[in-house]
Amino acid sequence: MLKYTKDHEWLRLDGDVATVGITPHAQEQLGDLVFVELPAVGARFDKGAVAATVESVKAASEVYAPVGGEIVAVNDKLAADPGLVNAAPTGNGWLFKLKVKDAGEAATLLDEAAYQKLSAAEASN
């Protein structure tokens, strides 16, 4: 089950490891991605800290850590093919995995219904 942030990141928790990426809504807003800057394995982030950057022909956008933890893997395929994020943002287009410091932080994230409501409200503005 995916959880979401108000900043348009998603998180899939598997034990104490969270896979993180940007939402389909975020990649649609950005357009075709041309570059993805990923964190280093071993880097530690607090919840809400800038962990990665995605760039499209339109804009660059920061990707925030939805929970605190240590990076244990990054999606190396994105260096050669950043378009994977556009093609499958919640699948092969994941950005990084982190070992979660506090599982309680994930409980504060949005479920899909709440995220869809937020995205719809933003789209209508």
C-alpha 37/C-alpha 51 separation (Å) is 9
Q: Residue 119: pLDDT above 90? A: no
Instruction: Give me the residues paired with residue 97 across strands.
Output: 19, 73
Look at residue 122 in the predicted model and tell me its pLDDT: 83
Q: What is the CATH number of domain 2-102?
A: 2.40.50.100
- pLDDT (tens digit, 9 = 90+) per residue, 40-69? 999 999 999 999 999 999 899 999 999 999
Nearest to 30 by CA among 55, 2, 63: 55
Instruction: Please give the Cα distance from 44 to 41 (Å, whole number).
Output: 9
Domain ranges of the chain: 2-102
What's the confidence (pLDDT) of residue 121? 87
pTM of this structure:
0.95
As a whole number of angstroms, the distance between CA 73 and CA 96 comes to 6
